[in-house]
Amino acid sequence: MAAVRRVVLIVIDSVGIGAMPDAADWGDAGANTLGNMARQRGGLPLPNLGRLGLGNLCAIEGTPPVDAPAGAYGRMAIFSHGKDTMTGHWEMVGIRPEAPFRTYPDGFPEDLIAEFCRRAGLEGVLGNKVASGTEIIKELGEEHLRTGWPIVYTSADSVFQVAAHEERFGLERLYEVCRIARDLLRPPHRVGRVIARPFVGTDRTNFTRTANRHDYALEPPRMLLDEVKDAGLSVLAVGKISDIFSGHGITYSVHTKSNADGIEKIHECLDRQEPGLIFANLVDFDMLYGHRRDVEGYARAMLEFDAALPAIMAKLGPEDVLVVTADHGNDPTYIGTDHTREYVPVLLYGEPIKPGVDVGTRASLADLGATVADLLGVPQTGFGESFADQIRK
């Protein structure tokens, strides 16, 4: 069976479809990003995603099941111990989980912060606690402007986030201190990501985060992207994909400033006509709406993505496959501000794919990575069970 020429893998960040069996252990019982959002607003019509089988995976008011989905469809569990970007994306490309990434619910140890300040040439930091990114700049932004000390905070995820004023502290200086933190926060600390969070404004009433966020991830072991690249194929990364994998296995990368910009960049990658993998992350669902528990904003972003799908699908060649999936949940109707432990959808469409095939509930996101490897004709990583034989025509 001939290999597929291109796979276009789009991660709609945090779009979960229902609580996993262990969700209660994470404080997420009853979470369902799409289902709860649709119910709370009285419907969420996603006709194009619905045509691919999304409504067959969970009850989404306004997006009913269809008798004959245009593609293959299923849901995937997160096998790893986590519910964050790194966990989901790393598992998706066939990285077998080792020890979980470390979290710091009480803030980072004083000796670690002291060493960070010493290496970065800082007099001190503000914060050092679990916080919402938008709230902590309101709380500490003015003190940051007075002292010049960056704001350090974390969340339920394995992240060391550094917020600083883009103009007063300086964007390049912020990136520099984040690189220093990344070098410091290796095992045994094993923090998944260091994230630069620049903002602008003059006081707490108008502080606003900018689009110049930058993620610094741990170095990944060998995974799907390396296999694709080493086979002489292109790996075109859109959005924060390159950051998540520290640039490994990537032949071309472009950052994005919004979902709309990300969709435009996907079109540009499609127009390049390079065989291999286009791997895109659309982050607004999670960053702008899920964490902020903004149901209407999240719903609007879903409607916009659904409306953008036909133009992407129209650019698929006869040997191309489109995959739409997610990395975790982030139910905007749920308590708190954290991600939610949910199943995620997997929708596959294209001329090489049998329509109407239900691939069931997959035990791991790595099953998708193994499937993409088989479709492109490259070696699997050894983690994940391919379902390519089920869906190939």
Residue ranges of the annotated binding site are: 13, 286, 291, 327-328, 339
Of 341, 293, 351, residue with least CA distance to 321: 351
Show Cβ contacts of residue 264 under 8 Å, excluding neighbours closer than 6 positions: none
Confirm if 60 and 315 have CB atoms less than 8 A apart.
Answer: no
What is the rounded radius of gyration, in angstroms, for the C-alpha atoms of the chain?
21
Largest CA distance in the chain: 65
Q: 165 is written with which tokens? A: 């004023």
The answer to whether 36 and 333 have CB atoms below 8 angstroms apart is: yes
Site of tokens 């209660």: 24
> Residues forming the annotated binding site for Mn(2+)?
13, 286, 291, 327-328, 339
Taking the CA atoms of residue 360, residue 328, residue 302 and residue 348 in that order, the dihedral angle to the nearest 10 degrees is: -30
Distance CA 207, CA 139 (A): 10
Q: How far apart are CA 1 and CA 377, in angstroms?
A: 10
Question: Residue 32, class by beta-carbon neighbours within 10 Å (0-12 exposed, 13-18 middle, 19+ buried)?
Answer: buried
What DSSP assignment string belongs to 191-222?
Answer: -SEEEEEEEE-SSTTT-EE-S--EEEEPPP-S
Nearest of 376, 380, 375 to residue 390 by alpha carbon: 375
E strand or H helix at 242: helix 241-244
344 has which bridge partners?
Answer: 76
The alpha carbon of residue 186 and the mean position of all alpha carbons in its chain are separated, in whole angstroms, by 21
Closest-CA residue to 9 (of 346, 359, 322, 377)? 322
Whether 353 and 337 have beta carbons less than 8 Å apart is answered as no
